[in-house]
């Protein structure tokens, strides 16, 4: 009864807000028709699998601002009517951009202008809706490179990179999105627009004052709407070498990976990645129709970029490390260029192209990737890996989780990729057959997920990094566990201070 009254009050507030929005912004920037609202409901992320009805995600309206002033108008009205807002970029994230029933979605993709470049100082400023791919192209045409390079760069937006503190394939060398971002314009929940840097409003400086920009890096739209971003970039490296070796057991493979990215090497080696046979045998068969050799358990690769003479020296060093751990290469291995581009090709094909699904023939729901990526300290990587493989096998063994076995596959078991020095992100991809998910599957998945989270925390890891997917109903409990009671309460205090009416993406984190 009380809930019904709250819902009715919210619906009325939303209608009043939409009325004012259409007058102040103009009807062409506003959509309230059902087909559009359905398109903006969910993201690429798995949360939708856990709900019986997608109505939970249907927004009341979508607004498409073209300036900071437009965003201010929207946010001021949301503040006045106390209506939830969800900012969206390309909606490719694993968690955070899903709409909420009766919310207003701000589609930032219409704020797509590059505003200023200072080539001598390696700084560029652009609007939040610029797609990463267009940003890259703009810099490349001028002989530069942006090193924040996410897989889904064709849809991902710059504002969302800030809101997620995204992971990129060169994190080992250059750090996550937050390292490249030097300034942000943010519209706060009270409608004010502020320009933030680290301890200053200028684009770069070591922190002496309060580091307010970093509150918004990784905040997932819970504190404000990012409207402009200043980033650093680099000169395009003239030389690029790629190499790969096979290992007969994963211990050798993991030791190689850890040695390759020791701090002294990390300054020169741009990336190293690990591929387990569980993934390779499916991927190589699915894409190339060839069998992956039985006696090879792991592949480890490296990418080195820079001046030609430095790259050459570094590559000799990388090969020596690989050979010290029994790394080798043979003619019966799959083509190396395919492995090196696997992140951009096979995983996407397997997840979205509809492998194990009849979507391409009959339409309807596709299979859905569930990416998980706990961060684990390198000192505990081997031990964690051993236990995690066992937990993953339970998904497919048919006994531990019968409903899951019937509706989910492990695409990529734990594949470490570099995080900050001394830490790895463990890249795990599960593939869910959405058509088969019922309440029993949901229950089993949540149970399995809890064990996955507890395992990472037991090894001093984190489950809130990069994609950071945690089922909504478990999020507060698991985040509290990871960061500790007092830290969580401190975060809540900051959220309440900045967003006292809880209008900014209110289903996320708090
Ligand atoms: C196959 C696959 C591979 C992926 N690989 C990577 C990878 O390598 N690295 C990586 O980091 N991620 C990866 N992702 C996740 C995702 O694609 C990226 O993080 C991407 O940068 C998200 O951008 P987006 O514009 O789609 O964000 P969205 O999904 O639209 O939004 C993400 C979050 O940011 C908030 N947000 C968006 N715009 C704003 C704004 N202007 N102001 C405030 N909040 C905002 C949203 O509310 C949401 O919480 C991958 C996803 C898939 C499906």
pLDDT digit string (tens) for 11-39? 899 999 999 999 999 999 999 999 999 99
222 lines ligand 1 (CB under 6 A): no
**Ligand 1 centre from 415 Cα, in Å?**
21
**Could you identify the atom of ligand 1 that is nearest to the CA of residue 167?**
11
Distance CA 329, CA 293 (A): 12
Q: Is the CB of 156 under 6 A from ligand 1?
A: yes
Residue nearest to atom 4 of ligand 1 (CA): 151
Residue length, the chain? 510
237-344 carries CATH number 3.30.70.3450: yes
Residue 221 CA, closest ligand 1 atom number: 44
Task: Report in angstroms the alpha-carbon separations of 122 from 112, 138, 140, 162, 233.
Answer: 20, 13, 13, 18, 5
97 lines ligand 1 (CB under 6 A): yes
Distance 240 CA to ligand 1 centre (A): 27
Neighbours of 206 (CB within 10 A): 8
Pocket test of ligand 1: the residue of 88, 226, 431 to mutate, having most ligand atoms within 8 Å of its CB, is 88
Closest C-alpha residue for ligand 1 atom 37: 160
- Nearest atom in ligand 1 to the alpha carbon of residue 186 is 42
- As a whole number of angstroms, the longest Cα–Cα distance in the chain is 73
Separation between Cα atoms, residue 442 and residue 358, nearest integer Å? 22
For the chain, the structural domain boundaries read 2-108, 110-235, 237-344, 365-470
CB of 465 within 6 A of ligand 1: the answer is: no
Q: Whose CA is nearest to atom 36 of ligand 1?
A: 160
- Tell me whether residue 403 is exposed, middle or buried, using C-beta atoms within 10 angstroms of its C-beta: 0 to 12, 13 to 18, 19 or more: middle
User: Residue 157: CB within 6 Å of ligand 1?
Assistant: yes
Mutational test site, ligand 1, from 92, 103, 185, 341, max ligand atoms within 8 Å of CB: 92
Q: How far is ligand 1, taken at its centre, from the CA of residue 249, in Å?
A: 34
Residue 64 has a pLDDT of 98
Which CATH fold would you assign to the domain 110-235? 3.30.465
pLDDT for 12: 92
C-beta 128 within 6 A of ligand 1: yes
Predicted pLDDT at 491? 97
Share of the chain above pLDDT 90, in %: 72
Query: Measured from the CB, is residue 94 less than 6 Å from ligand 1?
Result: yes
Q: Could you give the angle at which helices 308-324 and 250-260 cross, rounded to 10 degrees?
A: 150
Q: How confident is the model over 348-375, as pLDDT tens digits?
A: 555 555 566 666 667 666 688 899 999 9
**pLDDT the model gives residue 352:** 52
Ligand 1 in contact with 44 (CB < 6 A)? yes
Say yes or no: CB of residue 166 within 6 Å of ligand 1.
Answer: yes
pLDDT tens digits, residue range 98-154? 999 999 999 999 999 999 999 999 999 999 999 999 999 999 999 999 999 888 888
Q: Is 159 in the pocket of ligand 1 (CB under 6 A)?
A: yes
Kindly give the distance from the C-alpha atom of residue 71 to the centroid of ligand 1, in angstroms, as a whole number. 20
The span from the CA of 108 to the CA of 195, in Å, is 18
Ligand 1 atom closest to the Cα of residue 111 is 41
Pocket test for ligand 1, best of 148, 152, 509 (most atoms within 8 A of CB): 152
Q: How far is the CA of 92 from the centre of ligand 1 (A)?
A: 5
Across the beta sheet with 269-276, what order do the strands follow?
A: 239-247, 298-306, 269-276
Instruction: Give, in degrees to the nearest 5, the angle at Cα 271 between 265 and 273.
Output: 115
CATH architecture of 2-108: 2-Layer Sandwich (3.30)
* Pocket flag, ligand 1, residue 441 (CB < 6 Å): no
For domain 365-470, the CATH class is alpha beta
Confidence class for position 204, pLDDT limits 50, 70, 90: low
Q: How far is CA 240 from CA 153, 273, 306, 316, 475, in A?
A: 21, 16, 7, 14, 41
H-helix or E-strand containing 234? strand 234-235
**Ligand 1 pocket check for 343: Cβ under 6 Å:** no
**Pocket lining: 412 vs ligand 1, CB cutoff 6 Å:** no
pLDDT digits 0-9 by tens, 322-352? 999 999 999 888 887 777 666 555 555 555 5
| 478 in contact with ligand 1, CB cutoff 6 A | no
The residue with greater pLDDT, 346 or 403, is 403
Q: Is 73 near ligand 1, meaning CB less than 6 Å away?
A: no
For the whole model, what pTM was predicted? 0.94
pLDDT at 284 over 70: yes
Q: How many angstroms is it from 331 CA to the middle of ligand 1?
A: 39
The answer to which of 47-56, 166-175, 448-457 has the lowest mean pLDDT is: 166-175
Phi-psi region of 306 (alpha: psi -120 to 50; beta: other; left: phi over 0): left
* pLDDT reported for residue 226: 98
C-beta 106 within 6 A of ligand 1: no
Cβ 455 under 6 angstroms from ligand 1 = no
Q: How far is CA 269 from CA 251, 266, 319, in A?
A: 21, 5, 12
In DSSP terms, 504 is beta-bridged to 85
Q: Which of 84, 78, 24 is nearest to 58 (CA)?
A: 84
189 lines ligand 1 (CB under 6 A): no
Average pLDDT, the chain: 91
Mutate to test the pocket of ligand 1, among 44, 91, 150 (most ligand atoms within 8 A of CB): 150
Higher pLDDT residue, 335 or 246?
Answer: 246
- Rounded to whole angstroms, how far apart are CA atoms 66 and 108? 8
Note whether 110-235 and 237-344 share their fold: no
Task: Please count the CA atoms within 13 angstroms of the CA of 3 that sit on its side-chain side.
Answer: 0
């Amino acid at each position: 009864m009380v809930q019904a009254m709250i819902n009715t009050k919210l619906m009325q507030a939303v209608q009043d807000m939409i009325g004012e929005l259409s007058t102040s912004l103009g009807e062409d920037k506003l959509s309230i028709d059902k087909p559009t609202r359905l398109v903006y409901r969910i993201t690429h992320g798995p949360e939708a699998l856990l709900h019986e009805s997608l109505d939970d995600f249907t927004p009341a309206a979508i607004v498409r601002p073209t300036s900071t002033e437009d965003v201010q108008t929207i946010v001021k009205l949301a503040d006045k009517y106390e209506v939830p807002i969800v900012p969206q970029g390309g909606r490719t994230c694993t968690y955070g951009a899903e709409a909420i029933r009766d919310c207003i979605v701000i589609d930032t993709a219409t704020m797509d202008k590059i505003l200023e470049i200072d080539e001598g100082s390696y700084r560029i400023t652009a609007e939040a809706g610029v797609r990463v791919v267009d940003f890259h192209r703009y810099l490349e045409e001028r002989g530069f490179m942006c090193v924040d390079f996410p897989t889904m760069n064709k849809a991902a937006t710059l504002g969302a990179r800030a809101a997620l503190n995204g992971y990129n394939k060169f994190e080992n060398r250059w750090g996550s999105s937050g390292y490249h971002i030097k300034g942000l314009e943010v519209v706060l929940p009270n409608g004010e627009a502020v320009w933030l840097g680290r301890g200053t409003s200028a684009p770069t400086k070591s922190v002496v004052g309060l580091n307010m920009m970093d509150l918004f890096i990784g905040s997932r739209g819970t504190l404000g709407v990012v409207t402009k971003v200043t980033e650093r970039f680099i000169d395009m490296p003239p030389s690029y070498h790629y190499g790969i070796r096979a290992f007969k057991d994963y211990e050798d493979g993991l030791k190689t990976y850890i040695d390759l990215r020791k701090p002294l090497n990390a300054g020169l080696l741009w990336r190293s990645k690990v591929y387990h046979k569980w993934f390779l045998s499916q991927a190589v068969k699915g894409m190339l129709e060839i069998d992956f050799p039985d006696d090879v358990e792991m592949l480890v690769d490296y990418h080195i970029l820079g001046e030609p003479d430095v790259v050459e020296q570094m590559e000799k060093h990388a090969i020596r490390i690989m050979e010290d751990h029994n790394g080798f290469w043979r003619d019966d291995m799959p083509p190396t260029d395919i492995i090196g581009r696997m992140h951009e090709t096979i995983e996407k094909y397997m997840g979205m192209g509809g492998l194990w699904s009849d979507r391409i023939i009959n339409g309807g729901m596709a299979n859905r990737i569930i990416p998980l990526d706990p961060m684990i300290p390198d000192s505990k990587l081997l031990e964690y890996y051993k236990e995690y493989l066992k937990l993953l096998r339970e998904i497919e063994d048919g006994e531990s989780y019968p409903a899951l076995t019937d509706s989910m596959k492990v695409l990529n078991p734990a594949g470490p990729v570099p995080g900050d020095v001394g830490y790895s992100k463990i890249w795990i991809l599960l593939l869910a057959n959405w058509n088969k998910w019922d309440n029993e599957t949901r229950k089993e998945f949540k149970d399995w997920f809890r064990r996955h989270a507890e395992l990472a925390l037991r090894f001093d890891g984190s489950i809130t990094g990069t994609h950071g997917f945690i089922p909504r109903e478990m999020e507060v409990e698991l985040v509290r566990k990871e960061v500790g009671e007092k830290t969580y309460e401190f975060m809540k205090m900051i959220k309440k201070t900045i967003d006292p009416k809880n209008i900014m993406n209110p289903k996320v984190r708090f």
